């Protein structure tokens, strides 16, 4: 949740219990998965293997039932690699 929002709640009602909505938790997980993917893209680019994760952003971020056929095929191919992005995606899905 937005930190200034949480600060105001703490100041005005310190005894309140914070309940995080599933939307915010999933959004946070997706953001972290994308950060892992971006970092890995940079690392692979430096190693000369940047084609592996090309066009993979939405494969990791969309719900599986909303993937296009092309994205589903790309995700199936990516699952065969031992990548941090794949592990982050699997952890998000497991959650």
pLDDT value, residue 20: 73
Give residue 60's Cα distance to chain centre: 7
pLDDT value, residue 41: 92
Within a domain: 15: no
Spatial distance between the Cα atoms of 84 and 9, rounded to a whole number of angstroms: 36
Within a domain: 72: yes
Averages of pLDDT over runs of 10 residues in the chain (95 residues) are: 81 80 88 95 87 89 92 94 94 90
Within a domain: 13: no
Within a domain: 61: yes
- Domain count of the chain? 1
pLDDT value, residue 1: 66
Within a domain: 6: no
Within a domain: 54: yes
Spatial distance between the Cα atoms of 3 and 91, rounded to a whole number of angstroms: 25
> Domain range holding 90?
21-94
3-state SS record for 5-47: HHHHHHHHCCCCCCCCCHHHHHHHHHHHHHHHHHHHHHHHHHH
Q: What is the pTM assigned to this prediction?
A: 0.74
Within a domain: 2: no
Residues in the chain, total: 95
Spatial distance between the Cα atoms of 84 and 91, rounded to a whole number of angstroms: 10
């Amino acid at each position: 949740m937005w930190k200034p929002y949480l600060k105001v709640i703490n100041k005005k009602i310190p005894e309140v219990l914070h309940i995080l909505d599933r939307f915010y938790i999933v959004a946070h997980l997706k953001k972290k998965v994308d950060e892992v993917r971006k970092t890995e893209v940079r690392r692979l680019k430096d190693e000369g293997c940047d084609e592996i994760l090309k066009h993979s952003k939405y494969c990791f971020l969309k719900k599986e039932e909303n993937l296009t056929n092309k994205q589903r095929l790309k995700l199936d191919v990516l699952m065969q690699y031992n990548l941090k992005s794949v592990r982050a995606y699997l952890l998000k899905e497991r959650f």
